[in-house]
Chain A
Amino acid sequence: KQEVTQIPAALSVPEGENLVLNCSFTDSAIYNLQWFRQDPGKGLTSLLLIQSSQREQTSGRLNASLDKSSGRSTLYIAASQPGDSATYLCAVRLWNTDKLIFGTGTRLQVFP
């Protein structure tokens, strides 16, 4: 059974810091991995999607990497801002399924 874990569970940093959020999964036979952010009381906003054949994806200050063999993905946020404060979730899709299996989330707070 695929299990997805995110470390740390919570993170509080001053504005301007570069930071790394971690996601690990137990079954390396994934089709793709997606990173989301969730603001309080809101749904999920898709940030980056990495296909299994890819090693990384970048969007603005965000960079996500994928190492399938070790069952890990990282989300790198450069020059963090208070507006980055949210819960970050990673989710994997296995081959021949369409559902996403979500991680436990990292609650990020960036203070001025």
Chain B
Amino acid sequence: GAGVSQSPSNKVTEKGKDVELRCDPISGHTALYWYRQSLGQGLEFLIYFQGNSAPDKSGLPSDRFSAERTGGSVSTLTIQRTQQEDSAVYLCASSVVGGGGGQPQHFGDGTRLSIL
């Protein structure tokens, strides 16, 4: 398909385990974004990539969260030593250009993460 692809769609893990969430953006989209959607908090920005660099990581809630992007394409969001409050839907989006270019962001279906 031509849309943003995220995997896995659902992830259940035990507290304290590490998890990796993957995002495959739309081909040719240089900007990639991670957001988190949780009950009571709404949709919150986590990190933004332009190419392989992350000029804005201000939304990462703690140092247990990290993300990388390689080859200007696929991105991985890693959560170490998961806590129950990390349970949420993690959404990835991409757009043609970042840098305030004003292009619409296109979202994947998200990964629903549940921490037991």
Chain A residues engaging chain B, CB cutoff 8 angstroms = 31-32, 34, 36, 41-46, 49, 51, 89, 91, 93, 95-105
Contact = CB atoms under 8 A, between A and B. Distances in A.
Contact of A105 (B31, B42, B55): B42
A103 B6 CA distance: 23
A44 B98 contact: no
A contact face: mostly helix, strand, loop, or mixed: strand
A36 B107 CA distance: 10
Contacts of A99: 33, 45, 48, 56, 58-59
B42 A44 contact: no
7 contacts: A49-B102, A97-B56, A98-B31, A98-B50, A100-B33, A102-B42, A103-B42
Contacts of A46: 104-107
Interface string B93-116: 100001110101111111010000
Contacts of B91: 43-44
A36 B56 CA distance: 23
A36 B110 CA distance: 15
A31 B102 contact: yes
A80 B93 CA distance: 28
B43 interface: yes
Interface string B55-72: 110110000000000000
A42 B43 contact: no
B99 A98 contact: yes
B17 to A, nearest CB: 24
